[in-house]
Amino acid sequence: MSTWIDVDYETTVGTIGYLVETLDTSRGGPHRLSLRDRPLRTNVSHEPRLYGWCGETDNKSRTAAGVAKVVRMNKLGDRAQIVSLQGDALRAFLEQDGYPELIEATPEA
């Protein structure tokens, strides 16, 4: 998967993060993709999650959507092209980041 996302903080090519989809339910959309330093946690159990719905707070529904790497930036630095991390690259990232157990929750695991 390759897609472009908005970035609100200094991001560079090579940045790897946890991909989050946020939907503003008070307005009936739109959805927004963003990268985070840590995996989302579910609202109730507070368990980290690599994939799947994590809950809704303040009319913001959040879904964990895996791990992605920035491969290209636009000139202004406010948009980033990302690709999903999979396989050995995903496993190595999760191991280094301290969440090796999340590999069990991946669709290809």
pTM of the model: 0.89
* Residue range 20-30: mean pLDDT, rounded: 84
Tell me the per-residue pLDDT of 96-105, one tens digit each, with 9 for 90 and over. Answer: 999 999 988 6
Give me the count of residues in the chain.
109
Structure tokens at 56: 């809704």
Q: Please report, for the chain, the start and end positions of each structural domain, with discontinuous segments joined by +.
A: 2-101
Distance CA 46, CA 93 (A): 21
At residue 109, the pLDDT reads 47
Tell me the per-residue pLDDT of 28-54, one tens digit each, with 9 for 90 and over. Answer: 777 899 999 999 999 989 999 999 999
Mean pLDDT score of the chain: 91
Distance CA 43, CA 9 (A): 25
Distance CA 96, CA 59 (A): 33
Report H helices in the chain: 87-97
User: Do 73 and 12 form a contact (C-beta atoms < 8 A)?
Assistant: yes
- Going by pLDDT thresholds of 50, 70 and 90, the confidence category of residue 106 is low
At residue 9, the pLDDT reads 80
* Residue range 8-32: mean pLDDT, rounded: 87
At residue 52, the pLDDT reads 94
